[in-house]
């Protein structure tokens, strides 16, 4: 492992020498809109770019996740996966054209996840520049339908249908450089829709207001006593509703997530909220529906798992301080299938999910060196003897 780590600072300079190519890939990928469920055009660009760099195989799986494979030297070692989600939160009507300044790239979706995907398609050329060959096949996958209602369908399908064992995985996110995610909380993402009949009937002397009904639901959720152990929380993340200022709202909706490092606790909180929704619906005599949009199970590597330790060592060698937290991304699906995996960030930036999101160019080389260091660590066998608990 020391042998690998000592090479990393030297890698940064070599990666810097192909910076133009990396930024070109980031921009060409990023300026192709890819809202969740409509990733087809970006998938084509992804495939074109991978084909340009002459990966050994370039194809899509049965779910249309684009995949490139860099063949390894060993016939027997399982593959290593490197993945980045293709979809963004922005619709195709949003301006996706990026602006490059002296040390920054700005535009919608740059952090989440054009940088991650651009780096992913650049990896074959970077491996070539660094003269790297791996024992394992390296599977480069741009996964679709990851965000929101996508519910990580792309990665779920890819792993479900992958025929052979997987040695380990690295998930790439544009930001933030220094993140080291190795555990995923259990999560249920829900929506409550309130609809009030437009027709006057005997039930209501006064028409209820859909926004106020949802407000009552929020108030009751806020009254729930959530434990600190297992660590649990409910995040109220989205609301919408109403027509105009002077009119009672007939429709409103509320989006929230229940997160906990215990699946049991997630389920228990979900049941409490279900009761709240049913009770409010009954009391206010309105149509209130609770929908589950997605869910993931809690899963984790231990901090002393060799992949986590090696990843931390790689980062420290590059003068990065590892910062850990739960991640609900592709990582959770790898971990739930007992495949050792970590999520790493490539660079620093600001305005994450806004149209003027911006990333720094200079740290990208270090971010990539870190990803390569972790791939090399997995290829050297750090995950081979340690199955997940």
Partner 1 sequence: MNISWIEKNTFHYSEFSDLTRLVDEKQRKNLKISLCLPTLNEEETIAKEILIMKSELMTRYPILDEIVVVDSGSTDNTRKIARGYGANVYKATEILPDLVKFKGKGENLWKALFVTQGDIIVYLDADIKNIHHRFVYGLLGPLILFDNIKYVKAFYDRPIAIGKSKIRPTGGGRVTELVIRPLFSLFFPELTQILQPLSGEYAGYREIFENIPFPIGYGVETSMILDIYEKWGLDVFAQVDLDRRIHRNQDTRALGRMSFAILQTFIRRKKKLGLVDYKEKLYNEMIQYNLIKNEFKPDIYKIEEHERPPIIENPEYREKFKRIS
Q: In Å, what is the CA distance from 5 to each residue of 314, 344, 367, 378?
A: 6, 17, 14, 13
Is residue 75 within the footprint of partner 1 (CB under 8 A)? no
Enumerate residues 78-117 that contact partner 1 by CB under 8 A: 95, 97-102
The CB-of-118 to partner 1 minimum distance in angstroms stands at: 12
DSSP 221-271: HHHS---TTTTEEEEEEEEEE-S-TTS--SEEEEEEEEEES-HHHHHHHHH
Instruction: Please tell me whether residue 389 binds partner 1 under the rule CB under 8 A.
Output: no
Query: Closest distance between partner 1 and the C-beta of residue 46, in Å?
Result: 15
For residues 256 and 190, the answer to whether their CB atoms sit within 8 Å is: yes
Q: Cβ closer to partner 1: 31 or 220?
A: 31
Least CB distance to partner 1 at residue 280 (A): 48
List of residues 6+ apart from 166 with CB closer than 8 A: 78, 79, 80, 81, 159, 334, 339
Residues 72/133, Cβ–Cβ less than 8 Å: yes
Residue with Cβ nearer partner 1 (49 or 189): 49
H or E, element range at 186? strand 186-195
**20 lies in the site for partner 1, by CB under 8 A:** yes
> What DSSP state is assigned to residue 362?
T
Contact flag: residue 318 with partner 1 (CB under 8 A): no
Q: Is 58 a binder of partner 1 (CB under 8 A)?
A: no
Among 12, 21, 226, 248, binds partner 1 (CB under 8 A): 21
End-to-end alpha carbon distance in the chain: 23
Q: By CB neighbour count within 10 A (0-12 exposed, 13-18 middle, 19+ buried), where does 106 fall?
A: middle
In sequence order, the β-bridge partners of residue 194 are 252, 288
Residue 34 near residue 88 (C-beta atoms within 8 A): yes
Q: How far is the CB of 43 from partner 1 (least distance, A)?
A: 17
**Beta strands in 301-379, from DSSP E residues, in sequence order:** 341-347, 349-350, 358-360
**Residues whose CB falls within 8 Å of the CB of residue 13, separated by 6 or more in sequence, listed in order:** 365
Minimum distance, C-beta of residue 29 to partner 1, in the bound complex (Å): 12
For partner 1, the binding residue among 16, 24, 60, 195 (CB under 8 A) is 24
Select from 3-11, 16-24, 208-216, 374-382 the region that touches partner 1 (CB under 8 A): 16-24
CB 109 within 8 A of CB 89: yes
Please, what is the minimum distance in Å from the beta carbon of residue 28 to partner 1? 7
Rule CB under 8 A: is residue 378 a binding residue for partner 1? Answer: no
Choice between 40 and 291, CB closer to partner 1:
40
Closest CA to 27 of 11, 45, 12, 54: 45
Beta carbons of 251 and 194 less than 8 angstroms apart: yes
Q: Which is nearer to partner 1, 76 or 101 (CB)?
A: 101
| Total site size for partner 1, rule CB under 8 A | 14
CB nearer to partner 1: pick between 6 and 95: 95
Shortest CB 98 distance to partner 1, Å: 7
Distance, CA of 49 to CA of 55 (rounded, Å): 10
Which of 14, 16, 31, 262 binds partner 1 (CB under 8 A)? It is: 31
Tokens of 129: 């520049």
Nearest distance from residue 344's CB to partner 1, in Å? 24
Segment lying near partner 1 (by CB under 8 A), choices 25-33, 63-71, 151-159, 184-192: 25-33
Q: Output the smallest distance, CB 365 to partner 1, in A.
A: 15
Among 162, 161, 167, residue whose Cα is nearest residue 135:
167
Binder among 4, 15, 23, 170 for partner 1 (CB under 8 A): 23
**Segment interacting with partner 1 (CB under 8 A) among 27-35, 198-206, 245-253, 269-277:** 27-35
- Contact positions toward partner 1, by CB under 8 A? 20-21, 23-24, 27-28, 31, 95, 97-102
């Amino acid at each position: 492992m020391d042998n690998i780590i000592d090479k990393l600072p030297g890698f940064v300079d070599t990666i810097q020498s192909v910076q133009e190519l990396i930024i070109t890939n980031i921009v060409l990928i990023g300026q192709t809109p890819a809202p969740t469920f409509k990733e087809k055009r970006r998938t084509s660009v992804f495939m074109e770019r991978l084909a340009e760099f002459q990966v050994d195989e370039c194809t899509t799986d049965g779910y249309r996740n684009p995949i490139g494979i860099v063949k390894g030297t060993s016939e027997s070692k399982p593959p290593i996966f490197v993945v980045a989600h293709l979809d963004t939160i922005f619709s195709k009507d949003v301006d996706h054209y990026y602006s490059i300044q002296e040390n920054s790239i700005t535009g919608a979706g740059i952090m989440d996840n054009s940088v991650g995907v651009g780096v992913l398609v650049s990896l074959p050329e970077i491996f070539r520049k660094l003269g790297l060959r791996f024992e394992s096949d390296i599977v480069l996958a741009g996964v679709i339908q990851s965000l929101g209602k996508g519910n990580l369908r792309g990665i779920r399908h890819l792993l479900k249908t992958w025929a052979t064992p997987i040695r380990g995985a690295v998930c790439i996110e544009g930001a933030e450089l220094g993140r080291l995610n190795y555990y995923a909380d259990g999560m249920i993402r829900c929506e409550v829709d309130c609809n009030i009949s437009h027709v006057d009937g005997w039930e209501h002397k006064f028409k209820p207001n859909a926004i106020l009904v949802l407000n009552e639901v929020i108030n009751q959720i806020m009254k729930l006593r959530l434990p600190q152990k297992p660590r649990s929380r409910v995040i109220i993340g989205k609301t919408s509703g109403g027509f105009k200022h002077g009119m009672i709202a007939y429709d409103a909706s509320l989006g929230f997530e229940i997160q906990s490092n215990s699946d049991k606790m997630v389920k228990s909180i979900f049941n409490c909220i279900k009761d709240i929704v049913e009770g409010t619906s009954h009391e206010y005599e309105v149509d209130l529906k609770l929908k589950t949009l997605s869910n993931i199970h809690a899963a984790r590597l231990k901090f002393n798992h060799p992949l986590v330790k090696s990843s931390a060592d790689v980062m420290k060698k590059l003068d990065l301080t590892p910062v850990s937290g739960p991640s609900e991304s592709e990582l959770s699906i790898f971990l739930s299938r007992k495949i050792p995996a970590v999520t790493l960030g490539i660079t620093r930036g600001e305005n994450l999910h806004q149209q003027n999101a911006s990333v720094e160019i200079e740290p990208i080389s270090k971010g990539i060196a870190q990803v390569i260091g972790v791939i090399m660590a997995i290829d050297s066998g750090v995950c081979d003897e340690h199955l997940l608990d």
